[in-house]
Structure 1
C-alpha cells in the first residue's frame, strides 16, 4: 500500500479518521430520516453533506472525496501509470430498476471520469457484493500487479444508509438500532480507497511503503440476517482465517490486531467467537479487536478498504497495536472475507 483516502463521520481524510478511531470517537446523532413509526433514527452520517442528497448520489459524493485524497497523495506519479480500479458497493446498488440502469453502473462511470485526468489508461470494475466485496476483488488485482499487467491498483469501497428507501428496508427487517432493539446496527456512511503497487514501482515513483498485503481468503457462511442458521458453526470464517493467516504462520509470525465490521447484531459476534477459538494459535498479544461500526455506523462495502486505510495510517505513525493486522468483513448474503496486512519492514 502506498496511499489511502477515507471520509467518515469522524474524519474527512484518512489521517483524521485513523486518529479519531484511535481516540474512540463516536458519531451517533439524530438523523433527518425517520423509521416506519415516523420517529427520527439514530445514525452516523456526514453533516457536511447536503441533507437533501441521498442514496446513490450521496454515495458518489463520498467516493469522490476518498478517491480524490488517494490520488492527491500519488501526486505526479499517477500520470502515465497503468492502473486498474475496483469499486465495492452494497448489494442493493446493483439492482436494476425497471427500464433503468443500476445505480452501481452509473456510480462506476462517474468515478472513472473523475480519475481520467490522473490516469487516462484506467480500467474500472464495480462489485456489488457488500462488505466482503473487497476480499473477493483483491486476488484479481494482486495477480494483475504480480504479472506486471498494471502498475497500480485502486481498491475502494463506498457505503451509505442515508436513503429513505434503505432505512425503510432496514426497519422492515428489524435491523435498526433503538432502545428496544439492541440486536441491530446503527446506520452509517463512509468511503475509503487504497492504492497498491509493486515495491519496485513504488520506489521509482518515490512513494513510501505503508503496508503489505500478506494474505487474502474468502468463504461463505450459512448464517445470515434473514435466517435462523446457527452462527456458531462458523465453518466458512474459520477456514478463511486459517487460509489468510497461513503465510504469516509459515514465517513464524502471528497477528495481534483485528479490525472487524461487526455492528451490534449478535449472530456475527457468535460467529467470530467460534472462529476465534478455533484459530487461537494464529494470534498473539495484544490480540486487540476493534469494530469501528459500533461507533461510526455500519460500514457496508467500505469495511475492508477502510480497515486498510486505518492500518496504513497507524503503521506510518507508529500507533498500531501490532505490526500484523487482520481485516474481517461479512456480507448479508453470507460472503466472508479476511485480509491480512503487515507493517513495512
Structure 2
C-alpha cells in the first residue's frame, strides 16, 4: 500500500544531537532502550555539584553558546544530504532558541553565524535564516508554524529546515539554576535536571517530496500556538489555560483533530507543575486524547533540554509510530502523536505554548528501522 493522501507537510529529514547520542539513530536507540546520561557537574559558587544531562564529549569549561554551536552543527550534519535534493540555492531555516531565562546569555550572532556556515567542501544545501524564535520549549513549534505558513503561501519554495537548540549545562547556567534552587537536589525533590539538545527537521510541501526523490518519514497534520497567563515562573499553581487552548485548537482542526491521537509526547522536565498542567488540559480535551493516556516526557531521557527538546520528541514520535507500521497497515489507519512544549515564561513574560500533531508514514519502502 502506498502513502495515503493525507493533508499536511511531509517530514523528509531528521537530525539530532543529544547527551544520549550524537546522531538521530543513536539518540532514538538510546531512548528505545530507556537510557539516560545523568551525572554530577561542577557549578561555580554552588555548595554541591548539580546533576545534569550533558554531552560528555564537550569540554566542561565551554560556554553555553559554544555548547549550542557544537550540538547544532552535529544535528545539522544529519540532514545535509537531504538538503542537496532541493532545487533552491539556499534552503530556508527557521530556528527555535531559548527564552530569556536564568541560563547564561547566548551570543546569538556567533551562534547563527556558526550554524549557517557550511562545512568545508560542502556542496549544496546552504541555509538562509528566515526567522529565529526565542520561545524556549515552545520555540520549535513557533518555528514550525512559520515554516508551514511560508511553504503553503509559496514564499520559500518547496522545502524548509526547522530546528531548535539549547543547553543549560555550561558552568554559568548550572550556577544560576543552583542559586535559584530550581535543580533537583536533596533540598528540592521537585526540581529539574539541566540538559541540552539540538534537532532539525526537513519539511516539504505535499507532492514536492516525491518530486525530489525523498521519502516521507511522516506528516505534520497541524500546529497550534498559545500563551499561558500564569506560567511556571509566576510561582502560582498551573491553571493550564494556555495548554488547554492549544489542545482545543488542534482538536478543532480538520486534519489534526479528525480522530484521537494515540500518544502524547511532552517536552517538559519533571516538576509537578507540568504534570498538573497536562492533567488539566487533558481532562478538558479528553474526547480527543488517548485512553488510557499514553505519555512520554523528555525529562525521562534528557532532563530539561529547553528549546532543544521538541525536535527530539517529534523524531521519537515518528520513530515509535513507524515501528508499528505493519500493524497500522493491517488496521487501515496510521497512528498519530501529539507533541507539545510549554516555556517557563521567565522575566515577567507570558509562557509560550506550542504543539503539533504528526502521523507516521506507514507506506512505501525504506526509511524505517534500519535508516
TM-score by shorter chain over 0.5: yes
Contact in 1 for aligned 2:96/2:307 (Cα 8 Å) = yes
* Post-superposition offset of 1:257: 0.6
Q: Which TM-score applies when normalising by structure 2?
A: 0.83
Aligned positions of 1:303-322 closer than 5 A: 303-318=309-324
* Post-superposition offset of 1:9: 1.4
Contact in 2 for aligned 1:221/1:234 (Cα 8 Å) = yes
**Which is further off, 148-157 or 106-115?**
106-115
Q: Residue 12 of structure 2 is aligned with which of 2, 23, 27? A: 2
- SS of the aligned residue for 1:336 comes to strand
Contact in 1 for aligned 2:168/2:195 (Cα 8 Å) = yes
**Which is further off, 206-215 or 219-228?**
219-228
Aligned equivalents of 2:104, 2:191: Cα separation in 1: 27
Are 2:310 and 1:273 aligned? no
Aligned positions of 1:1-345 closer than 5 A: 1-31=11-41, 33-34=42-43, 36-72=45-81, 74=82, 76-78=84-86, 80=88, 83-92=91-100, 103-114=107-118, 117-120=123-126, 122-149=128-155, 150-231=157-238, 233-247=239-253, 252-285=258-291, 287-318=293-324, 323-333=335-345, 334-344=351-361
Task: After superposition, give the CA deviation of every residue in 1:278-310 in whole Å (9 maximum; x if it has no partner).
Answer: 111002345310012233221201122111222
Structure 2 portions without partners, runs of 5+: 1-10, 329-333, 346-350, 363-371
Question: Number of residue pairs matched?
Answer: 338
Contact in 1 for aligned 2:97/2:165 (Cα 8 Å) = yes
Contact in 2 for aligned 1:108/1:126 (Cα 8 Å) = no
Q: Which TM-score applies when normalising by structure 1?
A: 0.89
Aligned equivalents of 2:245, 2:262: Cα separation in 1: 18
Contact in 2 for aligned 1:81/1:152 (Cα 8 Å) = no
**Which is further off, 190-199 or 138-147?**
138-147
Contact in 2 for aligned 1:157/1:192 (Cα 8 Å) = yes
Aligned equivalents of 2:272, 2:101: Cα separation in 1: 26
- SS of the aligned residue for 1:51 comes to coil
* Post-superposition offset of 1:269: 1.2
Identify if the C-alpha distance between structure 1 residues 95 and 29 changes in structure 2 by more than 3 Å, giving closer, same or farther: closer
Contact in 2 for aligned 1:93/1:128 (Cα 8 Å) = no
Higher percent of residues as helix: 1
Task: After superposition, give the CA deviation of every residue in 1:30-69 in whole Å (9 maximum; x if it has no partner).
Answer: 22x2264332111111112223322101110100000111
Structure 1 portions without partners, runs of 5+: none
Contact in 1 for aligned 2:116/2:127 (Cα 8 Å) = no
Contact in 2 for aligned 1:82/1:152 (Cα 8 Å) = no
- SS of the aligned residue for 1:226 comes to helix
Identify if the C-alpha distance between structure 1 residues 174 and 267 changes in structure 2 by more than 3 Å, giving closer, same or farther: same
Identify if the C-alpha distance between structure 1 residues 196 and 284 changes in structure 2 by more than 3 Å, giving closer, same or farther: same
Aligned equivalents of 1:134, 1:279: Cα separation in 2: 23
Aligned equivalents of 2:144, 2:224: Cα separation in 1: 9
